[in-house]
């Protein structure tokens, strides 16, 4: 019973950690893309309006 509880708690912490990593990746990507000029975004085939969809896909 204790082993099962520890395993469950470990799984919860792992999930929280993965979500925190994902949150950080999304925020970092959004900051980096938003820091680019419209010309720079166009050079890589993007428009500023594309940024939210790109961030959601991460």
19-56 pLDDT tens trace: 999 999 999 999 999 999 999 999 999 999 999 999 99
Q: Are 56 and 33 in contact (CB under 8 A)?
A: no
- Based on its alpha-carbon atoms, the radius of gyration of the chain, rounded to whole angstroms, reads 18
Angstrom distance (rounded) from CA 24 to CA 21: 5
Residue closest to 51 by CA, chosen among 36, 37, 30: 30
- Which residue range(s) make up the domain with 35? 1-57
pTM of the entire structure? 0.76
The tally of domains found in the chain comes to 1
């Amino acid at each position: 019973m204790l082993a099962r509880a520890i395993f469950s708690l470990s799984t919860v912490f792992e999930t929280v950690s993965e979500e925190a990593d994902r949150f950080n990746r999304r925020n970092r990507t959004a900051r980096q893309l938003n820091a680019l000029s419209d010309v720079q975004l166009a050079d890589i085939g993007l428009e500023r309006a594309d940024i939210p969809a790109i961030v959601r896909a991460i």
